[in-house]
Amino acid sequence: QVQPVESGGGLVQAGGSLRLSCAASGRTFSSYGVGWFRQAPGKAREFVAAINRSGDRTYYQDSVNGRFTISRDNAKNTVYLQMNSLEPKDTAVYYCARSLYAGGTSLRDLRDYPDWGQGTQVTVSS
């Protein structure tokens, strides 16, 4: 089992930036796709971004495309989410998860992620 551990959340003003990190404990991340998801109060958990095993293919939710960048360093067993031009609507708990698959469009589907971190809070003030 892979246990993702998120870090890097916090409070930031609108227009600011944060970088989230997701480190894997237990087995390595390197054989799997990894995704970031978020859940705002009273809302369902939603897909934000994902990256395939090798790191050469990425996927984004439309609302974050162009503002967020997902990347990975397999040597460090870590996946990152760089978030720029943050908006109050980005406020949520952000979760990192390990996919069943190495890549492909299934990386957008949270049902295909068996291993989840505890989440990190991101709050964007207006």
Q: Evaluate if residue 96 carries a pLDDT over 80.
A: yes
Task: Supply the mean pLDDT for the chain.
Answer: 96
Which amino acid belongs to residue 6?
Answer: E
Which amino acid belongs to residue 8?
Answer: G
Q: Evaluate if residue 82 carries a pLDDT over 90.
A: yes
For residues 74 and 77, give the distance between their C-alpha atoms in angstroms, rounded to a whole number. 5
If pLDDT is split at 50, 70 and 90, which confidence band does 11 have? very high
Beta pairing partners, 34: 51, 98
Q: Do the bridges between strand 92-98 and strand 120-125 make them parallel or antiparallel, or are there none, so unpaired? A: antiparallel
If pLDDT is split at 50, 70 and 90, which confidence band does 25 have? confident
List, as own/partner pairs, every contact residues 51-59 make where C-beta atoms lie below 8 angstroms and the sequence separation is at least 24, other chains included.
51/79, 51/107, 52/102, 52/103, 52/104, 52/107, 53/102, 53/103, 54/103, 57/103, 59/105, 59/107, 59/108
Q: Evaluate if residue 1 carries a pLDDT over 90.
A: no
For residues 59 and 45, give the distance between their C-alpha atoms in angstroms, rounded to a whole number. 17
Q: What is the mean pLDDT of residues 84-103?
A: 97
Other Cβ atoms less than 10 A from the Cβ of 31: the count is: 11
Beta pairing partners, 117: none
Other Cβ atoms less than 10 A from the Cβ of 83: the count is: 27
pLDDT at 27: 77
Q: What is the mean pLDDT of residues 27-54?
A: 95
